Amino acid sequence: MMTPETMMRLLREAGCCQEAADRVLSLWRCGRRQEARQVLACCRRAQLEQLHRAQQLLDRLDGFRYAQRAAPSRASCRARRL
């Protein structure tokens, strides 16, 4: 069995906010394990949403980078005109 300090450290390292970590630990101590798991599931869902948002931003940035590579540069356009 983990100590409360270890549980708190792991929850914080996993990205749970202090409030959620406190709630999980409190519920776990009271034997309300199912409720603690529900709080953990909410934390996980929030982190997954953040990950998806970050992925969307990266996808947009990659699209912009691709478009920049695909577009001819001004220097090459001038050279073609001459």
What is the pLDDT, as a whole number, of residue 22? 96
What is the b/e burial string over 5-33, where b = at least 16 CB atoms within 10 angstroms of the residue's CB? Answer: eebbeebeeeebeeebbebbbebbeeeee
What is the pLDDT, as a whole number, of residue 2? 86
What is the pLDDT, as a whole number, of residue 40? 96
Domain residue ranges of the chain, discontinuous segments joined by +: 4-81
pLDDT tens digits, 32-78: 999 999 999 999 999 999 999 999 999 999 999 999 988 776 665 65
What is the pLDDT, as a whole number, of residue 25? 95
What is the pLDDT, as a whole number, of residue 79? 56
- pTM recorded for the entire structure: 0.72
